Amino acid sequence: MGSVIFIFISALVLMAAITDIKSLSIPNIIPIFILAAFAFTVVFDPTYFVNLENSLISAATIFVITFVMFAAGILGAGDSKLLAVLGLWIPVSTIWGFVLIMSVVGAMLGVVAIFIRKQEFLSHRFSEVSWFGQLQQGRSAVPYAVAIASAFFAVAFPW
């Protein structure tokens, strides 16, 4: 059952990244489903989480940190919620690797954003609500769910 749930969560994380690129938002239903999958797994496969307390502490810690980042205008609310629920699934032993990968991919997205903002020839090709369209309008934004998803997949499926 664990692998089916994990595939479900992976699909939701991928969906979050795609919708973030398309609209610079993450639908609330995605973190809700990830949280529901956690609750379902705890109830029906309690051996899946060797140390449930670590998962809860990890998620709570990530939530507090990302809530502060959201309040400071550094991170979007959807990104904060997505990170908090993924904290339930990311083993504590891989959290620093997750943060490092997420930061590097986020920085790369920032560089791409700077490049796209300077490209006038791209302005007619994208929807105004998409990340690319927003950049063309002068808004500084990064679909951070892409960085979150990249880090999640890197730690969830190590090579």
Predicted TM-score of the model (pTM):
0.88
DSSP 7-52: HHHHHHHHHHHHHHHHHS---THHHHHHHHHHHHHHHH-TTS-TTH
Please tell me the predicted confidence (pLDDT) of residue 20: 93
Q: Which of 105, 72, 85 is nearest to 37 (CA)?
A: 85
Please tell me the predicted confidence (pLDDT) of residue 121: 57
Question: What is the pLDDT tens value at each position of the chain, 159 positions in all?
Answer: 568 898 999 999 999 999 998 888 999 999 999 999 999 998 988 777 778 888 888 888 888 988 998 999 888 999 999 999 999 998 888 888 999 999 999 999 999 888 877 776 555 666 667 777 777 777 778 899 999 999 999 998 876
Phi first, then psi, for residue 51 (nearest 5°) are -130, 85
